[in-house]
Amino acid sequence: MAVGLSALQILLEEGGRKDWFSSAFIVEAAIVAAVGLAAFVIIELGRTQPFINLRLLGRYNFGLASLMQFTFGAAVFGVVFLVPNYFADAQGYNARQIGLTMIPYGAVQLVMSFATPPLMRRIGVRLAIALGFVIMAAGCLMNIHLDADAARNVIVPSLVVRGIGQSLIVVALGVMAVQGLEKAEMGSASGVFSMVRNVGGAIGIAIAGQFVVDREKLHAVHIGEAVTPYALATRDRMVDLVRLLAQHPVDRATALYSSATAPLRQRALALLDQDVHRQALLMSYSDAFLIAGLAMLACAGASLLLRGKR
């Protein structure tokens, strides 16, 4: 299992940089991952007393809850990976600023750890799970229209919202998953459930990083197609940048055509290129939050299919 999962994570993290299966290294990692994970499943299913009882995944409630746990782990770990990177790449925050910004995310989970059990008793476990996933989805979807100014005023409130949803899900989903299991199966079930979340998290982090890189390239190409020397908006922006760099009034013709402003135009083009890539990066992060939000909404719907008391 350890070998297979390690190879799978390497495959996901390095695949994009090495052009996927055109690289012999990636092909070898895929083979090791497939063989390792297949051997793990065969060995565990063939043992009378398995180290990890995979047969529990065949139970309706536990299997469905584990699938939701996997998706939840991928989304949560992926988003937790993306947020600090967003602050560093898009906002230029240092490590201290990022740490301070993430404090509300942990603080609200601490508060919710006390509030979740009585809330579950009041509204029921199934509804608490659905509510948690809806809140998580809302927290992700709050970030689908990021711009250059979206920092504390947008990201921090969404962190608080996701922290509330995450606390509800972690407790309530674990309770619902083990309903109907024998007491002797609880230990193994807990191990499987934790493993599923961790595997989902590892895959989510790898996919999230590669997703942002790929989407940034795609958006940069699309934006670049519109930012041409003949586009009116581009020429207007060039004039504004040349005037800003010149630090004195410059007429439009001089800004665009005069040899005297040629060095300023080169600097303006460099700034314009930075703007294009910055906007592409913001759009790629927005796309990632959208995917995470939709995944959480799907889990909210699936939670209504869970069986058990309330």
Contact 243, 250 (CB under 8 A): yes
Residues 6+ apart with CB under 8 A from 117: 171
Distance, CA of 129 to CA of 143 (rounded, Å): 22
> Domain extents for the chain?
1-51, 221-279
pLDDT digits (tens, 9 = 90+) for 244-303: 777 777 777 776 767 767 777 788 778 778 888 888 998 999 999 999 999 999 999 999
pLDDT digits (tens, 9 = 90+) for 10-65: 887 787 777 777 888 888 888 998 998 898 888 878 777 777 777 778 888 888 99
Which 3 state secondary structure label does DSSP give 1?
A: coil
If you write DSSP's letter for every residue of 224-243 in order, what string do you get? HHH--TT-HHHHHHHHHHHH
Q: What is the residue-averaged pLDDT of the chain?
A: 84
Which 3 state secondary structure label does DSSP give 53?
A: coil
Count Cβ neighbours within 10 Å for each residue of 174-185 and write b for 16 or more, e otherwise.
bbbbbbeeeeeb
Q: What is the model's pTM?
A: 0.83
CA 213 vs. chain centroid, Å, equals 13
Contact 70, 200 (CB under 8 A): yes
pLDDT digits (tens, 9 = 90+) for 148-174: 776 667 888 999 999 999 999 998 998
Whether the predicted pLDDT of 234 surpasses 80: no
Quote the pLDDT of residue 151.
64
Q: Which carries the bigger pLDDT value, residue 47 or residue 134?
A: 134
pLDDT digits (tens, 9 = 90+) for 169-213: 998 998 888 887 777 777 778 888 888 888 888 888 888 888 998
